[in-house]
Copies of this chain bind each other. A is one copy, B any other.
Amino acid sequence: MSHHRITGVFSASATPLTADNRPDFALFTDHCRQLLAEGCHGVALLGTTGEANSFSGAERRAILEAALKAGIPADRLLPGTGVVAIPETVELTRHALSLGVTKVVMLPPFYYKGVSDDGLFAAYSQVLEKVADTRLQVILYHIPQVSGVPLSIPLIGRLIAAFPETVVGIKESAGDFNNMQAIIAAYPGFSVLAGADPLLLPLLKAGGAGCITATSNLVANSLRAVYDHVHDEARAADVEAAQARINAYRTLSNSYVQIPTIKAMVGLKTGNPAWKRTRAPLMPLGDADYAALAESYAKLP
């Protein structure tokens, strides 16, 4: 069985906004509760789908605090805390820990491109040494198509070797199944979490630990069904059907700009068009796209 320290279905939750473009705490915490009710093991708030890097440090802290105040248990929250400057990554990580939130997803510093593994190792090491909290569990965040900063397999190995109790997993959002398999093979017990929904089932079969994905905002119950029954031969058809449903939602969300589309689809699911709002530089879907999306959405399984 799995020796992963982090395993399950985690939602890369979207962040709703008020009419004046601030985080809508009430709607967000309702959404978190709903995600857990639909089967998510946890909510990986403040990631790429959550538009975290479009919020100030103060807003990020307020979003996490709002979730806790609304009664979401600390051990069900996995905020993104990796930002572009080491002192602010330290500050956000310490803030989470101060609230009892011990699992975080951490981007590398992402302004400079083509940086060396030595440089990324130094950056992560300095953060972890400054935070210096044995409770902390870090999920590295590999999303080179957005961050511009890939995390190589040797770098991952160096970080695990240096911080074996802290660096416990990776969110692999490049969607590169070969890379996921290689990480699993290289580092037994290290949690590889799919960042791309269609890979949940194949990754679990290959020894992966679960997922942190955007489509969970819409079909968490199907993701949970895949996760729970992947090894149950008798339910193979159900599992395949659940993964197919996930893929249908994913395909539709990727037919337009993904994050605004995910948000618009949450709005269609919940009947609350406030969900359409995004923060610049992301823009809400235009009226024509939204109308077409709504028509396609109504036909999804």
Contacts and interface: CB of A to CB of B under 8 A. Distances in A.
A29 B263 CA distance: 47
Contacts of A108: 281
Given A119-B283, A282-B119, A283-B119, A85 B56 contact: yes
Q: Report copies per complex.
A: 2
Interface string A263-296: 0000000000000000111110000000000000
A84 to B, nearest CB: 5
Interface in A38-85: 48, 53-59, 83-85
Interface string A104-140: 0000111111011011101100100000000000000
Interface of A: 21, 48, 53-59, 83-88, 91, 108-113, 115-116, 118-120, 122-123, 126, 145-149, 257, 259, 279-283
B281 A55 contact: no
Given A21-B126, A118-B283, 17 more contacts: A53-B85, A54-B84, A54-B109, A55-B85, A56-B91, A58-B87, A59-B87, A86-B279, A86-B280, A109-B280, A112-B146, A112-B282, A113-B145, A113-B148, A116-B257, A122-B280, A122-B283
Most chain B beta-carbon neighbours within 10 Å: one of A58, A147, A281: A281
B123 A280 contact: yes
Contacts of A55: 85, 87
A147 B148 CA distance: 9
Contact of A280 (B56, B119, B145): B119
B109 A110 contact: no
A200 to B, nearest CB: 24
